[in-house]
Amino acid sequence: MRVPEENYYTKDHEWAYVDENTVTVGITEYAQESLGEVVYCELPEEGQKVTQNEPFGVVESVKAVSDLLAPVSGTVIEVNDGLGDNPGPINDDPQNDGWLIRIEMDSEKELANLMRAPDYKKLISEAQS
């Protein structure tokens, strides 16, 4: 399972890619695999405020609804709108084309609450055993 080194990770299986103040957010390969086929997603609007560890949207498979938790606090500056009509990329390419939102982060300090790749790998290998 791919766990890119450059990303930050949450315990709830979101990834966050940080480029200066802009944080791109999606769900991990592990998350999409355990969800199964995503049939619907609900994402925030541009300009909406999000708070670290609080829901900013949901993804739904046929059987389940899962909250998406914001890895950092800030303002949504871009939304992957195409996913509304076709959430397919969330399963097919969750770490690239299946990205969900971009956040203008309030404070870099919050990144300290996230995991880096080695710790996240440990988390998912424990969850699988």
Partner 1 sequence: MGDIKRTPLAELHEKHGAKMVDFAGWWMPVQFKGLKEEHLLVREKVGLFDVSHMGEIRVKGPQSLPTIQWLLSNDASVLTKGKAQYTLLTNHEGGIVDDLIVYCIEPEEDYLLCVNAANIEKDFQWILENNKGADITNESEDWAQIAIQGPKGVELTSAVFGEDLSSIESFSFAAKTFAGVETWVARTGYTGEDGFEVFVPKAQAAELWTALLEKGAPMGVEPIGLGARDTLRTEKKYPLYGHEINDSTNPYEAGLGWVTKVNAKDFVGKSKIVEQKEQGLARKLVGFKMLDRGIARQGYQLLSFDNKELGEVTSGTPSPSLNENIGIGYVLKEYAELGTEILVQVRARQLKAQVVQTPFVK
| Cβ atoms of 73 and 110 closer than 8 Å | yes
Residue 105 structure tokens: 């982060």
**Which 73-112 positions form the footprint of partner 1 (CB under 8 A)?**
84
Give yes or no for residue 62 binding partner 1 (CB under 8 A).
yes
Q: Dmax over Cα atoms in the chain, in whole Å?
A: 41
User: Minimum distance from CB of 67 to partner 1 (Å)?
Assistant: 10
For partner 1, which stretch binds (CB under 8 A), given 16-24, 53-61, 71-79, 94-102? 53-61
C-alpha–C-alpha distance, residues 102 and 78, integer Å: 5
Query: Phi and psi (nearest 5°) for 45?
Result: -90, 160
User: Minimum distance from CB of 63 to partner 1 (Å)?
Assistant: 5
Residues that bind partner 1 (CB under 8 A): 36-37, 39-40, 42, 58, 60-63, 65, 84
